[in-house]
């Protein structure tokens, strides 16, 4: 069985980093704000964390309601330092997105968007850019067959690729492509990499599908422990090669892979620096976190009061030092996994990345 035995430099870094994380929690300066602008979607991904549905007539939150929250935020924080991330559902199904974006831009917020790219057209992209879109992330979960399988809609691969090409051609656009690694696309990672390089992509994020939402009960969506390690090795290889800036998602403490498959050491910033307004007005952190950890609702509470006074379990993770985490030697480095892998009332996280890599060590 493998053992995690960091060298002196890494040990030192982990020690100082754990102190840094505690202080950041005390400071809890908001600088990354999700807006789940709709729960509607135009495709039906097998792994959807929001479990959203193709419902064309479901009502969206009125844009004014979120803009009021943004206004509140700008009274306490410098808007230039708060990134607004529009997510969903699929944000492009909202027809008023360019107008909302323009208002955010006028308030001084940089804003970005997470999209499947299906509804993106050159005209819409130009409109969004004119409205201040600074950053975007498009999902590409494999080559045609696997992408369309996972996304549940034929033709979604071509649409996603066209959207990525638009981003890649745009001067000054900050963007990246994300890929959910699963048992079907694991063996084509190298091909996906070459494809991305050919269409001009320079940043690629890989992550695993978490056992939440629709993905919880589909074994095809998950990779084995060995494949997980293989994926991390693949990332390391790409980073050494230097052709495409590949990184692993924000998930979990990774032992020896820590700080070499992504920048920085593991730090789940949910509720510490990351906040959100969800589709029904709920106040939370990352949109894929269990709704049992919702802290308030913009229709009942003042967002800034909630941000300041609640989020206790987000900022002091000791409440999660239960079950398998209670006696874990890596507690200081991990603090009970990412918040999206916790469920209220469940003493263990839904998955432990460290355990997958090191077994019971």
Partner 1 sequence: MPVAKKNLIIKFRIKILKRILLLLSIPVIAYSCKTTHNKQDALYFPRTGLVQKDTIQSDTVDPVFYNPVPVCDYGVLPVTPVYYEPYPISEYGVVPPDLELEKED
Q: Are 333 and 253 in contact (CB under 8 A)?
A: yes
Nearer to partner 1, 9 or 226 (CB): 9
Nearer to partner 1, 165 or 323 (CB): 165
Kindly report each contact of residues 157-163 with a partner whose C-beta sits within 8 Å and lies 24 or more positions away, as own/partner.
159/116, 159/117, 159/118, 159/119, 159/120, 160/116, 160/117, 160/118, 161/117, 161/199, 162/117, 162/120, 163/115, 163/117, 163/118, 163/120, 163/125, 163/138
Among residue numbers 256 through 275, which ones bind partner 1 (CB under 8 A)? 258-260, 262-265, 267, 269-270, 273-274
Nearer to partner 1, 129 or 326 (CB): 129
Number of helical H runs and strand E runs in the chain: 13, 10
Nearer to partner 1, 254 or 325 (CB): 254
- When asked if residue 143 is in the footprint of partner 1 (CB under 8 A), the reply is no
Tell how far CA 322 is from the center of its chain.
25
Helix (H, G, I), strand (E, B) or coil at 133: strand
DSSP state of 58: P
- When asked if residue 17 is in the footprint of partner 1 (CB under 8 A), the reply is yes
- When asked if residue 46 is in the footprint of partner 1 (CB under 8 A), the reply is no
Judged on CB neighbours under 10 Å (0-12, 13-18, 19+), 154 is exposed
Return the residue of 20, 77, 186, 331 that touches partner 1, per CB under 8 A: 20
Kind and range of the H or E element at 69?
A: helix 63-76
- When asked if residue 74 is in the footprint of partner 1 (CB under 8 A), the reply is no
Return the residue of 58, 119, 174, 350 that touches partner 1, per CB under 8 A: 174
Interaction pattern, residues 200-239, with partner 1; x per rule: CB under 8 A: x-xx-x-x----------------------------x--x
Q: Are 107 and 79 in contact (CB under 8 A)?
A: yes
Q: CB under 8 A: which stretch of 22-30, 54-62, 97-105, 145-153 binds partner 1?
A: 22-30
Q: Are 63 and 70 in contact (CB under 8 A)?
A: no
Q: CB under 8 A: which stretch of 65-73, 151-159, 249-257, 293-301 binds partner 1?
A: 249-257
- When asked if residue 77 is in the footprint of partner 1 (CB under 8 A), the reply is no
- When asked if residue 19 is in the footprint of partner 1 (CB under 8 A), the reply is yes
Task: Say which residue the tokens 């999902």 belong to.
Answer: 139
- When asked if residue 102 is in the footprint of partner 1 (CB under 8 A), the reply is no
Tell how far CA 42 is from the center of its chain.
20
- When asked if residue 176 is in the footprint of partner 1 (CB under 8 A), the reply is yes
Return the residue of 102, 199, 216, 350 that touches partner 1, per CB under 8 A: 199
CA separation (Å) from 266 to 48, 206, 246? 24, 15, 16
# chain residues binding partner 1, by CB under 8 A: 69
Interaction pattern, residues 110-129, with partner 1; x per rule: CB under 8 A: x-xxx---------------
Nearer to partner 1, 122 or 264 (CB): 264
Helix (H, G, I), strand (E, B) or coil at 321: coil
């Amino acid at each position: 069985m493998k053992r995690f035995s960091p060298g002196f430099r890494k040990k030192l870094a982990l020690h100082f980093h754990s102190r840094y994380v505690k202080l950041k929690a005390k400071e809890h300066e908001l600088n990354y704000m999700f807006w789940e602008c709709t729960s509607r979607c135009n495709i039906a991904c097998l792994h959807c964390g929001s479990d959203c549905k193709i419902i064309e007539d479901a009502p969206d939150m009125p844009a004014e309601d979120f803009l009021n929250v943004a206004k509140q935020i700008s009274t306490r924080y410098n808007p230039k330092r708060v990134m607004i991330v529009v997510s969903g559902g699929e944000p492009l199904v909202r027809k008023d997105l360019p107008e909302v974006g323009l208002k955010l831009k006028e308030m001084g917020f940089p804003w970005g968007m997470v999209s499947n790219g299906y509804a993106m057209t050159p005209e819409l992209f130009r409109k969004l850019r004119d409205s201040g879109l600074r950053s975007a992330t498009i999902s590409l979960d494999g080559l045609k067959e696997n992408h369309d399988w996972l996304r549940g809609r034929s033709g979604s691969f071509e649409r996603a690729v066209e959207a990525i090409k638009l981003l890649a051609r745009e001067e000054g656009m900050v963007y990246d492509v994300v890929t959910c690694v699963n048992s079907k696309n694991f063996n084509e990672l190298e091909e996906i990499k070459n494809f991305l390089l050919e269409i001009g992509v320079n940043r690629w994020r890989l992550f695993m599908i978490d056992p939440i939402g629709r993905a919880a009960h589909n074994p095809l969506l998950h990779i084995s422990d060995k494949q997980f390690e293989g994926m991390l090795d693949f990332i390391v290889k790409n980073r050494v090669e230097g052709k495409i800036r590949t990184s692993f998602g924000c998930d979990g403490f990774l032992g020896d892979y820590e700080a070499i498959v992504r920048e920085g050491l593991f730090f789940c910033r949910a509720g510490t620096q990351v906040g959100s307004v969800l589709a029904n007005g709920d106040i939370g952190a990352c949109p894929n976190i269990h709704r049992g950890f919702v802290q308030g609702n913009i229709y009942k509470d003042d967002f800034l009061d909630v941000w300041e006074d609640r989020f206790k379990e987000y900022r002091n993770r000791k409440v999660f030092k239960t079950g398998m985490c209670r006696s874990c030697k890596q507690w200081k480095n991990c603090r009970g996994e990412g918040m999206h892998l916790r469920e209220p009332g469940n003493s263990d996280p839904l998955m432990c990345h460290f355990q997958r890599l090191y077994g019971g060590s």
